[in-house]
Chain A
């Protein structure tokens, strides 16, 4: 039942934050914070309570709930957590806390409703990471969109409504294609086995003819590729990230993009092993194109927030590359990159938000020489930019290194091009450092330095990035069984019915 509570707590807390927050703004903020702390406690309990390691290493579900819901259609409330889900829900709750804290002063209007939307997005994302019933998964997948849309459309910057609509339409169109695929899978599997069900574990055994399996997979892949985002389906991302309030950008970059990668790992590879293997070369090419394209475009931006947004396209390319390269090392790297990118890009968006709050601009041209007036802000910015370019010692380094190493054996040319992307990321990252923090000061009176709340947030995030970089062991061990399970299903010609995944 703890899994149901992890999702329900933000749902209920969201309503509570709305009601209380409409009376008194700071009451709303504290409610949201306490709700997320409670959720963090539940996740921590799940993690410590279960990591008697022998369960994890066998790759079984750490915790599972099944309650019939609409039995006539074979829909159940099936939630379960394994290593991958566990890492991602921990990331979700952590970034949720950061999002609440970073809005503490930025959001002053309709505070209650803001935190309602924030908590409901988080609840939807938690649901996506935990659902093992495809109807339930689709429900949560759609559910997180509306509050996210409102977060951008109400509390965003100048072009917010247009950006929010673009975001919504792209993801919703992808979502509807996925709905078709889910239903087609349900019908096809039901017709073959006589047992109509949306349950993931049942559908895992589906042995579909290659042609229909290819088409059905395509719907999933497009939906997830929009979210990741893979070039050329990425065009919603720069707009949405740029116009969203800081908390919205943190959630988008840190979590929403990860739902796409999670979907590929959880559904596409295990459900359609052969079709996915056939798709892999194309997907890897797209991934590498994204790495280069994102980096080149990031370099060309004059808007700091847009620049950071494009770096996401580049970094998420590594995730896509790792997922489809089909080696254990690259897959572990992809999982690592999901976490490291979530934290490091989230932190970079915080920096951008702090700069914008101080100088009321995101234009690179109006920044410069911040180090003299705001040394703490600048130091944090330097560390995060270095993490973003993948300097050894950061989680990003471990992740990208593993992905490249794992891909090398599969395709040398693609690895070489992807590695060139790393060089480009050094160019734009150092460019930020040079332009914003060093150089001549643009105005005589530079921005104020970090407050205690701001330094606290950044310090924790930087510590986390370093921890991921220096002690990647625990994360890799937690994700290990899942990677093995995905691989054993994904290798062509060998399709055990849910072996190693199901208890």
Chain B
């Protein structure tokens, strides 16, 4: 391993080191404020380190990881989302009794796992990344031990994640048996001569294993319970950091292998996508709990994204990446509002909790409404441009059936997004006690998210250029 190898790994090393540092600091001097500051500093430094890398890119470091623009793009997305989650966790946890310093160690480790996924080119690093991410998540979901819901959610996630890991490993084993390699590029090179059945079965199992993480139908059953039971910032983490990392590696893997439109894999992916779009949106209609509603809506959104996996090609990856960025901003904002609304006794859950919010906390309601509009894909928001590029890429590949499902799903989705928006502007309802005011940092994060959302909705060209550059 040369010096340049270490240089390009620097951001990941910083992230790992800061988790160790935070742990040691807690052992020596337990201070909540210091822990949070160290965590934020660690993430910021890692982000800053990425910006010095560009002359060295792209660089393959061992067979396991490649640090290219694509990896940097998704790692940076993961780190930024994780930064926002850390800030939200701070305002969430500081209202609750108990010791919360260790939470940030877990957060940093999970972020490291997610960032590695974005750079992974090998089954070993894929699996290591996923497990690093998931194992930390078990503890994060069940972090508030007094909450039964949280423990239940943690348990559910543990069981289903273990099952999904088994699927993933078996799939990898089959692919290895068929091609004799665990490197993405070699698998792609040898796929032609490999026994088709073993290879296709292996790839199918890998899709199933990763599908659990993305919570697409039919691997979605854990989602609503975990979303509801986990503390709101952790839910935001699962929805954004964990899922974008998995999408990153999924797109890279299947981008390398290629999904032909005639093969059975294409049918599987299309089927999953269509089922997720329709079922996610239909079930979201029935929810009376904001977190469960957002859970089902996320199922639908990842159905939209999987259409891009089926479409294949650079335009699809660009569209998927843009959509993902928009989705991360939007979801962070939505869960950010839920976090801020959550009092010390429990999370804001029932949708009545936000009735008439516009007249009590206009700015918070404006942020929430903007996020919902973006999820619904309405103009001037990032979600609008995201959906636009998505449909454009799908039509470019002539995927008419998924496009029809996407349109149908979007129309169904409007029902519940509109219902929430109408509720925000309805007459004053049951006034839930609100925390006295936003902390400076979480208010700032929400404001930045809102600005980004609108900026990407009005002027998407720079980000689009960035992504096209990264994907090329």
Contact = CB atoms under 8 A, between A and B. Distances in A.
Q: Do A and B come from one complex?
A: yes
A432 B415 CA distance: 37
Interface residues of B, number: 28
Contact of A169 (B378, B384, B411, B425): B411
Given A70-B460, A172-B411, A179-B391, A143 B380 contact: yes
Contacts of A146: 373, 378
B267 interface: no
A71 B461 contact: yes
B207 to A, nearest CB: 27
Contacts of B410: 176
B418 interface: yes
A200 interface: no
Contact of B418 (A69, A165, A183): A165
A179 B359 CA distance: 34
Given A70-B464, A72-B461, A142-B379, A173 B395 contact: no
B396 interface: yes
Nearest to B395: A183
A72 B418 CA distance: 32
B396 A187 contact: yes
A180 B391 contact: yes
B214 to A, nearest CB: 24
Contact of A168 (B384, B391, B414): B414
Nearest to A143: B379
A135 B388 contact: yes
Contacts of A142: 378-379, 384
Contacts of B414: 168-169, 172
Interface in A134-151: 135, 139-140, 142-143, 145-146, 149-150
A187 B395 contact: yes
B415 A165 contact: yes
Contacts of A187: 392, 395-396
A195 interface: no
Interface string B402-419: 010001001100110011
A140 B465 CA distance: 24
B417 to A, nearest CB: 10
A149 B373 CA distance: 12
Interface in B368-402: 373, 378-380, 384, 388-389, 391-392, 395-396
B418 A177 contact: no
Interface string B449-472: 000000000011100110010000
A291 interface: no
A334 interface: no
Contacts of A139: 379-380, 384
A69 B415 contact: no
Interface in A143-183: 143, 145-146, 149-150, 153-154, 161, 164-165, 168-169, 172-173, 176-177, 179-180, 183
B465 A72 contact: yes
A184 interface: yes
A186 interface: yes
Contacts of B415: 165, 169
B268 interface: no
A73 B464 contact: yes
Contact of B392 (A145, A150, A183): A183
B422 interface: yes
B445 to A, nearest CB: 23
Nearest to A177: B407
Contacts of B465: 72
B403 A180 contact: yes
Q: Closest 3 interchain pairs by CB?
A: A70-B461, A142-B379, A176-B407
7 contacts: A73-B389, A110-B359, A168-B414, A173-B411, A179-B388, A183-B391, A186-B392
Interface of A: 69-73, 110, 135, 139-140, 142-143, 145-146, 149-150, 153-154, 161, 164-165, 168-169, 172-173, 176-177, 179-180, 183-184, 186-187
